[in-house]
Amino acid sequence: MPVSGQRPGPASVNRDGSGNRTGAHGEKHRHMTLMKVFVIAARALMVVAAAATLAMMLHVTADIIWKYLFIAPIRGTLEVVAGWYMVAVVFCSIAYVEVKEGHIVVDLFTRGLRPARLNALRTFNYALSAVYVGALGWLALEEAIRRTAQNEVWETVNGYLSIWPSRWLVVAGFAVLLCVFAMRSLNALRAARDPERVSFAGPEDAH
Protein backbone atom coordinates (compact mmCIF):
# COMPACT_ATOMS: atom_id res chain seq x y z
CA MET A 1 0.00 0.00 0.00
CA PRO A 2 2.48 2.63 -0.94
CA VAL A 3 1.10 6.09 -0.50
CA SER A 4 3.33 8.72 -1.85
CA GLY A 5 4.31 6.98 -5.04
CA GLN A 6 7.82 6.05 -4.10
CA ARG A 7 10.18 4.37 -6.52
CA PRO A 8 13.81 3.41 -6.15
CA GLY A 9 16.09 6.34 -6.67
CA PRO A 10 19.82 6.57 -7.00
CA ALA A 11 21.59 6.71 -3.69
CA SER A 12 22.71 10.27 -4.12
CA VAL A 13 22.25 12.64 -6.98
CA ASN A 14 24.43 15.52 -7.99
CA ARG A 15 23.22 17.07 -11.19
CA ASP A 16 26.33 19.15 -11.46
CA GLY A 17 28.53 16.55 -13.07
CA SER A 18 31.72 18.57 -13.36
CA GLY A 19 33.71 21.20 -11.58
CA ASN A 20 33.34 19.71 -8.12
CA ARG A 21 36.12 20.14 -5.68
CA THR A 22 37.98 16.88 -5.15
CA GLY A 23 36.91 16.72 -1.51
CA ALA A 24 33.23 17.13 -2.32
CA HIS A 25 33.52 14.62 -5.14
CA GLY A 26 35.23 12.12 -2.89
CA GLU A 27 32.61 12.65 -0.24
CA LYS A 28 29.87 12.09 -2.79
CA HIS A 29 31.60 8.95 -4.04
CA ARG A 30 31.92 7.54 -0.52
CA HIS A 31 28.30 8.41 0.09
CA MET A 32 27.13 6.56 -3.01
CA THR A 33 29.28 3.53 -2.28
CA LEU A 34 27.92 3.33 1.25
CA MET A 35 24.35 3.58 0.04
CA LYS A 36 25.01 0.88 -2.55
CA VAL A 37 26.27 -1.41 0.21
CA PHE A 38 23.07 -0.82 2.21
CA VAL A 39 20.91 -1.42 -0.86
CA ILE A 40 22.73 -4.71 -1.50
CA ALA A 41 22.22 -5.66 2.15
CA ALA A 42 18.50 -4.82 1.90
CA ARG A 43 18.23 -6.93 -1.28
CA ALA A 44 20.02 -9.84 0.36
CA LEU A 45 17.58 -9.72 3.25
CA MET A 46 14.71 -9.56 0.73
CA VAL A 47 15.92 -12.85 -0.76
CA VAL A 48 15.61 -14.38 2.71
CA ALA A 49 12.11 -12.88 3.10
CA ALA A 50 10.99 -14.21 -0.30
CA ALA A 51 12.39 -17.66 0.48
CA ALA A 52 10.55 -17.64 3.82
CA THR A 53 7.28 -16.65 2.10
CA LEU A 54 7.63 -19.49 -0.38
CA ALA A 55 8.58 -21.93 2.38
CA MET A 56 5.59 -20.82 4.47
CA MET A 57 3.23 -21.43 1.55
CA LEU A 58 4.66 -24.88 0.81
CA HIS A 59 4.88 -25.93 4.46
CA VAL A 60 1.31 -24.91 5.33
CA THR A 61 -0.07 -26.43 2.10
CA ALA A 62 1.76 -29.69 2.77
CA ASP A 63 0.41 -29.66 6.32
CA ILE A 64 -3.19 -29.34 5.06
CA ILE A 65 -2.74 -32.08 2.48
CA TRP A 66 -1.14 -34.42 5.00
CA LYS A 67 -3.80 -33.54 7.58
CA TYR A 68 -6.75 -34.41 5.34
CA LEU A 69 -5.31 -37.11 3.09
CA PHE A 70 -3.21 -39.03 5.56
CA ILE A 71 -4.73 -37.82 8.86
CA ALA A 72 -1.20 -36.87 9.85
CA PRO A 73 -0.49 -33.16 10.04
CA ILE A 74 3.11 -32.02 9.98
CA ARG A 75 3.91 -31.51 13.64
CA GLY A 76 5.21 -28.14 14.69
CA THR A 77 3.87 -26.32 11.63
CA LEU A 78 2.25 -23.62 13.73
CA GLU A 79 5.41 -22.92 15.69
CA VAL A 80 7.70 -22.91 12.63
CA VAL A 81 5.35 -20.52 10.79
CA ALA A 82 5.05 -18.14 13.75
CA GLY A 83 8.60 -18.33 15.10
CA TRP A 84 10.64 -18.56 11.90
CA TYR A 85 8.80 -17.75 8.68
CA MET A 86 6.76 -14.81 9.95
CA VAL A 87 9.78 -13.21 11.60
CA ALA A 88 11.85 -13.66 8.42
CA VAL A 89 9.13 -12.38 6.08
CA VAL A 90 8.48 -9.23 8.09
CA PHE A 91 11.88 -8.18 9.42
CA CYS A 92 13.87 -9.17 6.33
CA SER A 93 11.62 -7.08 4.09
CA ILE A 94 11.28 -3.80 6.06
CA ALA A 95 14.60 -2.35 4.84
CA TYR A 96 13.83 -3.18 1.21
CA VAL A 97 10.43 -1.48 1.60
CA GLU A 98 12.24 1.78 2.32
CA VAL A 99 14.71 1.22 -0.53
CA LYS A 100 12.01 0.34 -3.05
CA GLU A 101 8.73 1.93 -2.09
CA GLY A 102 9.13 3.94 1.05
CA HIS A 103 7.10 3.51 4.20
CA ILE A 104 3.69 5.16 4.27
CA VAL A 105 3.84 8.96 4.52
CA VAL A 106 1.23 11.68 4.10
CA ASP A 107 2.57 14.48 1.91
CA LEU A 108 -0.64 16.47 1.58
CA PHE A 109 0.32 19.19 4.07
CA THR A 110 3.91 19.67 2.95
CA ARG A 111 3.48 19.78 -0.84
CA GLY A 112 3.63 23.57 -0.98
CA LEU A 113 6.91 23.88 0.93
CA ARG A 114 9.95 25.37 -0.80
CA PRO A 115 12.66 22.76 -1.61
CA ALA A 116 15.06 24.01 1.06
CA ARG A 117 12.42 23.81 3.80
CA LEU A 118 11.16 20.47 2.53
CA ASN A 119 14.67 19.07 2.63
CA ALA A 120 15.16 20.42 6.16
CA LEU A 121 11.93 18.69 7.18
CA ARG A 122 13.04 15.47 5.47
CA THR A 123 16.37 15.63 7.32
CA PHE A 124 14.49 15.74 10.62
CA ASN A 125 11.96 13.06 9.62
CA TYR A 126 14.54 10.56 8.41
CA ALA A 127 16.73 11.26 11.45
CA LEU A 128 13.74 10.67 13.75
CA SER A 129 12.96 7.45 11.87
CA ALA A 130 16.61 6.39 12.21
CA VAL A 131 16.57 7.04 15.96
CA TYR A 132 13.31 5.07 16.38
CA VAL A 133 14.51 2.14 14.30
CA GLY A 134 17.94 2.34 15.94
CA ALA A 135 16.34 2.05 19.38
CA LEU A 136 14.23 -0.92 18.24
CA GLY A 137 17.34 -2.50 16.72
CA TRP A 138 19.49 -1.94 19.82
CA LEU A 139 16.84 -3.45 22.11
CA ALA A 140 16.39 -6.35 19.66
CA LEU A 141 20.19 -6.89 19.78
CA GLU A 142 20.16 -7.05 23.58
CA GLU A 143 17.26 -9.51 23.42
CA ALA A 144 19.01 -11.60 20.76
CA ILE A 145 22.20 -11.85 22.87
CA ARG A 146 20.22 -12.78 25.97
CA ARG A 147 18.00 -15.34 24.19
CA THR A 148 20.96 -16.88 22.39
CA ALA A 149 22.75 -17.33 25.70
CA GLN A 150 19.59 -18.98 27.06
CA ASN A 151 19.31 -21.14 23.90
CA GLU A 152 15.67 -20.02 23.57
CA VAL A 153 13.27 -22.74 22.43
CA TRP A 154 9.52 -23.14 22.02
CA GLU A 155 7.81 -26.31 23.10
CA THR A 156 6.06 -28.15 20.27
CA VAL A 157 4.00 -31.34 20.11
CA ASN A 158 7.03 -33.47 19.35
CA GLY A 159 9.84 -31.68 21.11
CA TYR A 160 11.46 -28.28 21.10
CA LEU A 161 12.03 -25.71 18.35
CA SER A 162 15.01 -23.35 18.56
CA ILE A 163 13.78 -19.80 18.25
CA TRP A 164 16.88 -17.78 19.13
CA PRO A 165 18.24 -17.70 15.53
CA SER A 166 15.20 -15.80 14.31
CA ARG A 167 15.89 -13.12 16.97
CA TRP A 168 18.96 -12.18 14.89
CA LEU A 169 16.79 -11.60 11.82
CA VAL A 170 15.02 -8.85 13.77
CA VAL A 171 18.39 -7.25 14.52
CA ALA A 172 19.52 -7.54 10.89
CA GLY A 173 16.28 -6.01 9.54
CA PHE A 174 16.33 -3.04 11.90
CA ALA A 175 20.10 -2.50 11.41
CA VAL A 176 19.86 -2.22 7.62
CA LEU A 177 16.71 -0.07 7.86
CA LEU A 178 18.55 2.22 10.30
CA CYS A 179 21.39 2.62 7.80
CA VAL A 180 18.98 3.43 4.95
CA PHE A 181 17.12 6.02 7.04
CA ALA A 182 20.42 7.55 8.19
CA MET A 183 21.69 7.84 4.62
CA ARG A 184 18.44 9.41 3.48
CA SER A 185 18.70 11.90 6.33
CA LEU A 186 22.25 12.80 5.28
CA ASN A 187 21.14 13.14 1.65
CA ALA A 188 18.33 15.46 2.65
CA LEU A 189 20.72 17.50 4.84
CA ARG A 190 23.16 17.92 1.94
CA ALA A 191 20.30 18.95 -0.33
CA ALA A 192 18.99 21.42 2.26
CA ARG A 193 22.44 23.02 2.62
CA ASP A 194 23.23 23.18 -1.07
CA PRO A 195 20.02 22.91 -3.11
CA GLU A 196 21.74 24.22 -6.25
CA ARG A 197 24.16 21.33 -6.41
CA VAL A 198 22.46 18.44 -4.68
CA SER A 199 18.92 17.28 -5.34
CA PHE A 200 17.37 15.02 -2.77
CA ALA A 201 17.19 11.36 -3.74
CA GLY A 202 14.63 9.88 -1.41
CA PRO A 203 12.13 7.32 -2.63
CA GLU A 204 9.40 9.92 -3.01
CA ASP A 205 11.36 11.98 -5.53
CA ALA A 206 11.54 9.48 -8.28
CA HIS A 207 8.12 9.92 -9.85
Partner 1 sequence: MSSLQIGLLGVVAILALIAMRVPIGVALGVGSFAGIWAIRGFDPALGTLRSLPFEFVSHWSLSAIPMFLLMSAVASQSGISKSLYRAARLWLNFMPGGLAVSTTFASAGMAAASGSSMATAAAMGRLAIPEMLRFKYDKGLAAGVVASAGTLGSLIPPSILIVLYAIFAEVSISQMLIAGVLPGILTAAIYVIMIVIRCSITPSLAPKIEEKHDRAEKWRALAEVWPLPVLILIVIGGIYSGIATATEAGAFGAAAAFLIAFFQRRMSWKVARDSLVEACVSTGLVFFTAIGAILLTRFMAFAGVPFFMADLAAPISDQFILLVIGASIVFIILGMFLDPLGVLLLSLPIMLPLFEGVGADMIWFGIIVIKFLEIGLVTPPVGFNVYVIKSVVGDQIPLETIFKGVGWFIVCELVVVALLVIFPDIVLFLPSLMQ
Residues that bind partner 1 (CB under 8 A): 1-3, 5, 46, 49-50, 53-54, 56-61, 63-64, 68, 78, 81-83, 85-87, 89-94, 96-97, 100-110, 121-122, 124-125, 128-129, 132-133, 135-136, 139-140, 142-143, 163, 166-167, 170
* DSSP helix/strand/coil, 153: strand
Least separation in angstroms between residue 103's CB and partner 1 is 4
Least separation in angstroms between residue 114's CB and partner 1 is 15
Least separation in angstroms between residue 17's CB and partner 1 is 30
- Whether residue 167 contacts residue 152, with contact meaning beta carbons closer than 8 Å, is answered with yes
DSSP 18: S
Q: Using alpha carbons, select from 183, 200, 190 the residue that is nearest to residue 24.
A: 190
Of 31 and 100, which CB lies nearer to partner 1 in the complex structure? 100
Question: Half-sphere exposure of 65 toward its Cβ, with a 13 Å CA cutoff?
Answer: 6
- Whether residue 42 contacts residue 88, with contact meaning beta carbons closer than 8 Å, is answered with no
Least separation in angstroms between residue 115's CB and partner 1 is 14
